[in-house]
């Protein structure tokens, strides 16, 4: 039997492969090992076997030899290698998405600090921006982490918009403490709000949650390195020790790996920039002056003398203009990546890089690039730092016409793809291309470079004094998106947090299951009504709620169950159930927003959807099942 050709090996992988092949004594066994190595080489999206991939397979075969009894070691090693290769794919994390949950695998807070420090390490002295929207920041360790980053890394600029309630140092609020450090690369603003009512008994204004004209209820941050979108983290997790140790919470991290994750990061940063540059966010002195003026207005209106507050100097920050991203994704298909690469390395070397990528698949690192394209070893550190190593995959649901052209579609097919998703919403599978008349040969050729994963961030906002809210402060504040309407037809709707959930609910068909874990849910919320309509269509609906303030909703859901609908509800009493997510098949949504009229019309909120991504959906499904089984 002829021995199959080995995959292309990195220099460091060759001696490891020699050890592995030495364990196979027959041509048939060597052929089995070679097939395993080919599959392992593709775990990170290319055809080149790295040393890490080779070592993982060698370790698997060694373990199999130690445990083999009735089955020969090579056969057992081949069987066990499937799980090893699958774990290698997960480690490669080609979509860039990872999900964290409290009470699982250690502290979410500590992992978030690790992500922050990893971003700083990736920047490696280049300009880095950390832009945060946060409702609650009451953690000494997170405060210390930010201050340490700012002190040790003058290349890092940290901008934070906190809620109005974060402006005082009561309750352990971190932002006033951070400002006392007077670090030039940390800037803080507060959401413009005055949540007070007059107390006749006390003769002064007192805090009242219901008087808020809109909280900054976000919980997330974006990092950018030299203008390049780097990382987004968001979810239900506030920056507090209570969230980390006592609450059911989630935190999703998205790294800039493909067209979908990149879009999510860009949308969130665009929202931050719009919020920061609007008069809805005020610098510390200007916020204090605003609050003092409103305080005196309330005193005077209630026949009380105004306070004599000392005027504070205007401490406005400069407007935030995001840096221009000048990086080049060596695995990307955007025309801008091709142009930037030529500008960085010249036409000849750019062509060599493109040729090797086409032959061997994506580049995983500078080291991988330099081994496969020797001419790149002479490039400067500055040039190498401008390289980005994405997944080499584009989504049918987010790819531009140029990207679709680059992966092999004709101009007509590319236009048909964009038209389809505009009229029908997302592609659920690559096989749907057949219905558009795309040739089978084209689909086969392009399939390795395609996915249907779709990441989209939705926003709500309402500036102080505004009569109604909008879909965010960013340049896409009037953004619309195709979603499934209540009538089962695709409609173009404002991209607010509500449709981020109802789109998934309206798509659910009889027999499918919708699982929702929600801290707050009102029977008047549009998301609740969409859930009810789904149940009436025969969809199985399961809801787990927090114990506080949800009695009316629990009763309403139980009433539906008594009417014969497949609705079940449980309540979490042991811990605070602060999650805000839903799972429908391979689609999930999560973020800061509850199912309430305040979330949909008043507060500054976000909700992110990730569609057609089984790994993320499974992680959230497991989390739901965990809480469901621990609730009553």
For 319, 501, 506, 586, the CA distances from 512, given in Å and listed in that order, are 48, 16, 12, 11
Q: Report the relative pairing of strands 540-546 and 567-572 from DSSP bridges.
A: parallel
Mean pLDDT calculated for residue range 288-311: 94
- Residue labelled with tokens 């995983």: 364
CB 458 within 8 A of CB 495: yes
- Its pTM stands at 0.94
CB 508 within 8 A of CB 534: yes
Q: 476 pLDDT exceeds 80?
A: no
Per the model's pLDDT, the better-predicted residue between 258 and 415 turns out to be 415
For 479-529, write each residue's pLDDT tens digit. 889 999 999 999 999 999 999 999 999 999 999 999 999 999 999 999 999
The contacts of residue 62 (CB under 8 Å, 6+ apart) are: none
Rounded CA separation 617/560 (Å): 27
Class of 97-301 in CATH: alpha beta
Token couple for 428? 């659920």
**Terminal-residue alpha carbon distance, the chain:** 62
- Going by C-alpha positions, the residue among 204, 197, 202, 208 that lies closest to residue 305 is 204
For 619-629, write each residue's pLDDT tens digit. 999 999 999 99
CB 216 within 8 A of CB 238: no
- Going by C-alpha positions, the residue among 556, 541, 507 that lies closest to residue 624 is 541
Least confident of 151-165, 291-305, 414-428, 519-533: 414-428
Give the start-end residues of each E strand in 122-185.
Answer: 128-134, 137-138, 156-162
Rounded CA separation 472/459 (Å): 5
C-alpha of 335 from chain center: 25
Q: 132 pLDDT exceeds 50?
A: yes
Helix axes 73-92, 27-41, angle to 10 degrees: 10
Order of strands across the sheet that contains 128-134: 97-101, 250-255, 228-235, 219-225, 128-134, 156-162, 186-191, 281-282
- Going by C-alpha positions, the residue among 365, 483, 466 that lies closest to residue 53 is 365
The CATH homologous superfamily for domain 456-629 is Endonuclease Chain A (3.30.870.10)
DSSP 468: S
For 138-151, write each residue's pLDDT tens digit. 999 999 999 999 99
C-alpha of 446 from chain center: 26
For 572-603, write each residue's pLDDT tens digit. 999 999 999 999 999 999 999 999 999 999 99
User: Length of the chain in residues, anyone?
Assistant: 632
Q: What's the pLDDT score for residue 468?
A: 83
Rounded CA separation 615/628 (Å): 20
Mean pLDDT calculated for residue range 94-109: 94
DSSP 5: P
Per the model's pLDDT, the better-predicted residue between 258 and 248 turns out to be 248
For 143-197, write each residue's pLDDT tens digit. 999 999 999 999 999 999 999 999 998 889 999 999 999 999 999 999 999 999 9
Burial class (CB in 10 A: 0-12, 13-18, 19+), 267: buried
The angle formed by the CA atoms of residues 443, 444 and 446, to the nearest 5 degrees, is 65
CB 456 within 8 A of CB 609: yes
Handedness of CA 117, 123, 125, 129 (dihedral sign): negative
Q: What's the pLDDT score for residue 177?
A: 97
Helical H runs in 168-278? 174-180, 241-245, 259-277
């Amino acid at each position: 039997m002829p021995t199959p050709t080995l995959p292309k090996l990195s220099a460091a992988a060759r001696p490891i492969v020699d050890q592995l092949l030495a364990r196979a004594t027959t041509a048939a066994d060597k052929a089995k090992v070679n097939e395993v190595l080919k599959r392992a080489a593709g775990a990170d999206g290319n055809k080149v076997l790295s040393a890490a991939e080779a070592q993982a397979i060698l370790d698997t075969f060694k373990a199999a030899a130690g445990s083999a009894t009735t089955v020969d070691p090579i056969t057992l090693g081949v069987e066990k290698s499937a799980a090893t290769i699958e774990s290698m794919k997960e480690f490669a994390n080609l979509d860039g998405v990872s999900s964290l949950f409290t009470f699982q695998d250690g502290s979410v807070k500590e992992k978030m600090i690790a992500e922050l420090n990893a971003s700083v390490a990736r920047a490696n002295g280049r300009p880095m921006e950390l832009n945060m929207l946060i409702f609650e920041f009451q953690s000494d360790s997170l405060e210390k982490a930010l201050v340490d980053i700012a002190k040790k890394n003058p290349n890092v600029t940290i901008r934070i918009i906190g809620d109005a309630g974060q402006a005082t140092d009561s309750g352990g609020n971190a932002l006033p403490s951070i400002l006392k450090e007077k670090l030039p690369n940390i800037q803080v603003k507060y959401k413009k709000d005055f949540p007070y009512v007059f107390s006749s008994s006390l003769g002064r204004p007192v805090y009242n949650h219901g008087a808020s004209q809109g909280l900054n209820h976000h919980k997330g941050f974006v990092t950018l390195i030299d203008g390049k979108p780097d990382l987004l983290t968001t979810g239900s997790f506030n920056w507090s020790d209570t969230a980390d140790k006592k609450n059911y919470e989630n935190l999703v991290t998205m790294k800039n790996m493909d067209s979908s994750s990149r879009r999510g990061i860009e949308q969130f940063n665009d929202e931050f920039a719009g919020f920061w540059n609007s008069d809805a966010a005020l610098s510390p002195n200007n916020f204090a002056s605003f609050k003092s003026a409103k305080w005196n207005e309330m005193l005077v209106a209630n026949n009380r003398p105004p306070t004599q507050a000392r005027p504070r100097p205007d401490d406005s920050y400069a407007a935030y203009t995001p840096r221009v991203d000048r990086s080049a994704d060596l695995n990307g298909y955007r025309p801008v990546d091709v142009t930037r690469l030529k500008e960085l390395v010249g036409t000849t070397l750019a062509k060599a890089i493109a040729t090797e990528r086409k032959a061997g698949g994506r580049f995983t690192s500078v080291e991988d690039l330099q081994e496969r394209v020797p001419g790149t070893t002479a490039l400067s550190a500055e040039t190498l730092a401008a390289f980005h190593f994405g997944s080499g995959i584009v989504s049918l649901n987010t790819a531009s016409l140029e990207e679709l052209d680059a992966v092999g579609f004709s101009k007509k097919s590319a236009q048909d793809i964009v038209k389809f998703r505009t009229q029908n919403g997302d592609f659920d599978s690559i096989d749907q291309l057949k219905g558009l008349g795309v040739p089978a040969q084209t689909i086969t050729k392009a399939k390795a470079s395609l996915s249907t994963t779709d990441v989209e961030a939705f926003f709500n906002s309402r500036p102080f004094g505004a009569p109604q809210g909008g879909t965010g402060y960013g340049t896409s504040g009037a953004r619309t998106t195709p979603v499934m309407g209540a009538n089962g037809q695709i409609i173009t709707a404002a991209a607010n947090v509500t449709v981020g959930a109802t789109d998934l609910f309206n798509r659910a068909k009889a027999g499918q299951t919708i699982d929702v874990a929600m801290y707050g849910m009102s029977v008047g919320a549009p998301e609740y009504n969409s859930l009810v309509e789904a149940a009436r269509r025969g969809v199985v609906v399961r809801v787990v709620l927090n114990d506080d303030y949800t009695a009316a909703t629990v009763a309403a859901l139980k009433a539906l169950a008594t009417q014969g609908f497949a609705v079940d509800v449980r309540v979490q009493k042991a811990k605070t159930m602060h999650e805000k997510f839903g799972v429908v098949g391979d689609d999930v949504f999560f973020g800061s927003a509850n199912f309430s009229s305040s979330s949909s019309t008043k507060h500054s909120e976000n909700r992110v959807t990730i569609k057609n991504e089984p790994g993320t959906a499974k992680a959230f499904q497991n989390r739901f099942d965990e809480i469901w089984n621990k609730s009553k």
